[in-house]
Structure 1
């Protein structure tokens, strides 16, 4: 028998596999109260960006209306005569007061709502401590950002939007590079994974994909949340492969390999670099609109606000408010960009890990807090990841197309769960 005829005979003998039926079998595992809860949580989140933008705009309006912003700018001018430093000083009360005004909203979204749906493991004290750390990091970044932005505005009043885009993009790139080393460890402990089959399989896939990493780290995310997650973070020398302990404890080796293959896809497909490019374009458009609108608004209202010009740090609430308005529609576009990247990483991960049922199982776990079967318009407008149904269907279509490449015990239709990996 020739090799070709042998392969044809093997394919004919393989069990029939219906990708749509297999998809429905997975989807049927999320039913009843659990599905209602998942849908309610995710649908409630549709309006959070809009309400969050309105809360932020109100805070900026208060700063201008009661001339707090002008007073902070004057205070910074009294503290130092170095004009380049004044915006950095101004940013401190600007950030602190803004955080205080929006604190009730922050508490509701990040603490109360997460506990209502059983997704958080933190006490209020633990949550507040991390909020304090995040606020401190934000203050440092804000000082740097304000110094750079207003230096650009002073040096080039007519083209600051162009040079400002370059400065912001460079700052974002530095933040992405430094975050794994200096920021993320402020919130979580990263521990090298112990030697064993799981670590060996992750590194095997990484090395097959020529990812320059020889360690895998476990993040103690269970102290904060019940969500599963992983990433290949950093740029250049700061690259790091990590998975959280929820994924390690709630999944099996099939699901872990599927997730890590997906995350490696983001790295290999240069999604971080592409997102930086997209953000740069969006910043360019946003800054250009703000540069056009802000002087016109100040000409009409600047005197009553005590704001002389765009180059005055006191203009920050106006600039931020305009950007916040623009971010609402931009967020929909950005969701589509990220969703496309996630779909690309899904396809990459299926090819790299060859774990379609592990991938489908993980998609079902993620659907514990993501509406699993949205309408097409919902997925287009509100999803920054493919829906659970989309992901399970992709995995089952991949399985149907590559059935002969899988181990014999994984070719038949099955519903894989963490405690029943191959049934």
Structure 2
């Protein structure tokens, strides 16, 4: 079925409007400037805060882990390119039998399985480096179980999305309209439900034990005006030695979680990490990210409609429309490419939001010296990349680097009349 030009124009205008709205919202709400304009500039310098051995270890780890990482990215792009630009996917999926919905589900399963089988050795390669550098505490069985869980969840979500697209395309000529609405709603629902449905699959969560640290954290949250019923501890040590904390969900599912590995740090540093997470909660960053992501998903539905309706793509893939169950490969290829291409923009926004949470932690605790000590501990323990090259920075880095965060803390201290740590 060939879509009329008016239908394509309508989808194009909708994509332009949604895209413009998303860009405008991000442009006007992202905290591009974290500290006031009068803040003294401080240049990030890893050599000032990290020993040569620590810098060398960071560079060695980054060099080792980058190889399988780049190969995995290249594999993703190649597979997506084949699915979008050749008839191979349609020919292979055309061999599946059964009702259309079963062929769609089997198609998603087959494509996902094929990609993950190719990625599996690369994942094992990365895991060997994580163990070599002391970051992973898992045995191979536990690693494989976790990886299969991740694959299963991703495949299930992909199957829901692809099945919905094909079903809507079979029923409506302008299926991009309900697809965009459905993508928006699904993104919000998944973000809301993730903390209570998905996170417990990978970790056990227990309330932080009663004691001075817990009391201090809850008192700090109360002083900050952030309603927190409890702070949870994740049993991350059964998987990693890395230190981390995060906030997820919103509304009644919002939770602040700290890794049990983090509790080995001094209490003052734990308080600063939680103060950072309180910054996310106070600014509503999870809800904000969810809504922006939902708008992006709606844009993706419109883009998918245009791509699957575009003559050159239909001719190259041999697929008449998204209503064809053989279009599963094409749809998955477009989704993969969109995810990779949108990554740099997401990272750019994320770095500024994380920096705002850092500034909030400094405002709340007024302790830049401990903040810097905490950042050094996180960077050394997690073997963070202290000076990523430009390509890595754009493509992968979602948080400011440790030297950038330390430089901001020094700038904050000077701005507030304190001695520079």
Q: Give the counterpart of 1:325 among 337, 360, 373.
A: 337
8 A Cα contact 1:336 1:381, kept in partner: no
Which residue of structure 2 lines up, in the alignment, with residue 389 of structure 1? 403
Tell me, what secondary structure is at the counterpart of 2:168?
A: helix
Q: Deviations over 1:229-248 (max 9, x none)?
A: 11222111112222001111
Give me the whole-angstrom Cα distance separating, in 2, the residues matched to 1:221 and 1:135: 19
Give me the whole-angstrom Cα distance separating, in 2, the residues matched to 1:291 and 1:275: 24
Which residue of structure 1 lines up, in the alignment, with residue 152 of structure 2? 136
| 1:386–1:47 Cα change, 3 Å | farther
| 1:155–1:354 Cα change, 3 Å | farther
8 A Cα contact 1:27 1:389, kept in partner: no
| 1:285–1:238 Cα change, 3 Å | closer
Which residue of structure 2 lines up, in the alignment, with residue 9 of structure 1? none
TM-score normalized by structure 2?
A: 0.78
Matched, 1:343 2:352: no
Which residue of structure 2 lines up, in the alignment, with residue 95 of structure 1? 112
> How far did residue 186 of structure 1 move?
1.3
> How far did residue 43 of structure 1 move?
5.7
Which residue of structure 1 lines up, in the alignment, with residue 88 of structure 2? 65
Structure 1 vs Structure 2 CA RMSD? 3.1
Give me the whole-angstrom Cα distance separating, in 2, the residues matched to 1:413 and 1:58: 49
| 1:104–1:342 Cα change, 3 Å | same
Q: Deviations over 1:56-86 (max 9, x none)?
A: 34445379526332233x33x1xxxxx5666
Which residue of structure 1 lines up, in the alignment, with residue 5 of structure 2? none
Which residue of structure 1 lines up, in the alignment, with residue 212 of structure 2? 197
Which residue of structure 2 lines up, in the alignment, with residue 419 of structure 1? none
Q: 5+ unaligned residues in a row in structure 2: which ranges?
A: 1-39
Task: Write the mapping of 1:37-116 to structure 2, written as runs, cut at 5 A.
Answer: 37-42=57-62, 51-59=71-79, 61=82, 65=88, 67-72=91-96, 74-75=97-98, 77=99, 87-88=104-105, 90-109=107-126, 111-116=127-132
| 1:155–1:226 Cα change, 3 Å | same
| 1:309–1:377 Cα change, 3 Å | closer
Q: Deviations over 1:395-421 (max 9, x none)?
A: 2222334457xxxxxxx666xxxxxxx
> How far did residue 308 of structure 1 move?
4.5
| 1:201–1:178 Cα change, 3 Å | same
Q: Deviations over 1:145-165 (max 9, x none)?
A: 2332323333444451x5423
TM-score normalized by structure 1?
A: 0.78
Task: Write the mapping of 1:12-411 to structure 2, written as runs, cut at 5 A.
Answer: 28-42=48-62, 51-59=71-79, 61=82, 65=88, 67-72=91-96, 74-75=97-98, 77=99, 87-88=104-105, 90-109=107-126, 111-160=127-176, 162-249=177-264, 251-295=265-309, 296-303=311-318, 307-368=319-380, 369-374=383-388, 379=393, 382-402=396-416
Which residue of structure 2 lines up, in the alignment, with residue 417 of structure 1? none
Structure with the greater alpha carbon radius of gyration: 1
Aligned residues between the structures: 375
| 1:134–1:148 Cα change, 3 Å | same
| 1:288–1:50 Cα change, 3 Å | farther
Q: Deviations over 1:189-245 (max 9, x none)?
A: 111111111111111121223333222211111111121111222111112222001
Tell me, what secondary structure is at the counterpart of 1:370?
A: coil
8 A Cα contact 1:95 1:139, kept in partner: yes
Tell me, what secondary structure is at the counterpart of 1:102?
A: helix
> How far did residue 44 of structure 1 move?
6.0
> How far did residue 334 of structure 1 move?
1.1
| 1:198–1:192 Cα change, 3 Å | same
8 A Cα contact 1:121 1:222, kept in partner: yes
8 A Cα contact 2:108 2:155, kept in partner: yes
> How far did residue 290 of structure 1 move?
3.4
8 A Cα contact 1:221 1:244, kept in partner: yes
- RCO greater where, 1 or 2, for CA within 8 Å and sep 6 or more? 2
Tell me, what secondary structure is at the counterpart of 2:95?
A: helix
